[in-house]
Amino acid sequence: MNVSGTQSDTDDLKKARLGIIGGSGLYRIENLKNISELSLDTPFGKPSNNLLTGNLNGMEIVFLARHGENHSLNPSEIPYEANIWAMRNLNVRWIISASAVGSLKENIKPCDIVIPDQFIDRTHQRPLTFFKNGVVAHISMANPFCEILSQVLSQEIEKLLTKDKQLHLGGTYLAMEGPAFSTRAESNLYRDWGCSVIGMTNHTEARLAKEAEIAYSSLSMVTDYDCWNRSCDNVSVDMVIENLQENSNFAKSIISAAAKRISSLRPSSSSHNALKDALVTSKEHVSNKTKNKLSLFTDKYWN
């Protein structure tokens, strides 16, 4: 496995934490040792919820419930910038994002798992970047997910699979605005585009995580066939919740195994230096207010 990086990167990652963002159905992680609950303020407001820190299988973990512990935030209301900034501030350098998704392919069944490698963005009221208000950075999103982290995750999932579940490595995640589910016309359009799954949150997180130089991978847990498959019931909250309950227990087992592996490997990837050639604006032309908001990400390039 390629875990290339500079010696400085390697040294930094020795003390880094693994972030877990829990989506629908995954609001806490059991078996954490030495748990602390942190309420943080960020330059971008409050995160979705208090962050839990602790140790899981030898790995220091930071857990955040994306929608809040009572699922009170819809996908457009999630404070994405605050969530990612808080993770980076707590020295998170890898994020596993557990999410409920709908399937857009016949062979991807409810309760299967997908680790996508591409996105199509159909959201229209989400933050697209940390870099604004006088500073510009053009981050590369050619490979939006961290390939190395996704490989580690897939290897651990393969060890845990049961005969009624299948792992699909690779595929395109269609990010829609929500909170309503798709129309049938939209669902069929996304199938024509070759998309594998549909969800409402991961694209925004992945963009911001890349700018924060955090390796990001999606643990996409399939709950339904969206609404394109006329042989199945149209997607409903009851259907989603039933499959969420089954998926969440399996997701916790995957996260536990992945934490142990990441603790051992400490994998370095290009995600950890994503800003190196992306910053366009010279620091002398950036206001102190903007520099202070972004210093968490830019200090190693601007100092």
Residues with a catalytic annotation lie at 224, 226
Instruction: Specify whether the CB–CB gap between 218 and 100 falls below 8 A.
Output: no
Instruction: Specify whether the CB–CB gap between 212 and 297 falls below 8 A.
Output: yes
Instruction: Specify whether the CB–CB gap between 175 and 120 falls below 8 A.
Output: yes
Whole-angstrom distance, CA of residue 75 vs CA of residue 251: 20
Q: Is 266 left (phi over 0), alpha (psi -120 to 50) or beta?
A: left
Token digits of residue 126: 């989400």
List C-alpha distances in Å: 70 to 24, 48, 193, 294: 10, 10, 35, 30
Residue 210 burial by CB count (10 A; 0-12/13-18/19+): exposed, middle or buried?
buried
Classify the C-alpha dihedral 162-163-169-173 as positive or negative: negative
DSSP 74: -
Neighbours of 18 (CB within 10 A): 23
* DSSP conformation letters of 73-93: --TTT--HHHHHHHHHHTTEE
The structure tokens 């399939």 sit at 222
Determine how β-strand 92-103 pairs with β-strand 197-199: antiparallel
Token digits of residue 119: 């996105």
Instruction: Specify whether the CB–CB gap between 233 and 33 falls below 8 A.
Output: no
Instruction: Specify whether the CB–CB gap between 173 and 196 falls below 8 A.
Output: yes
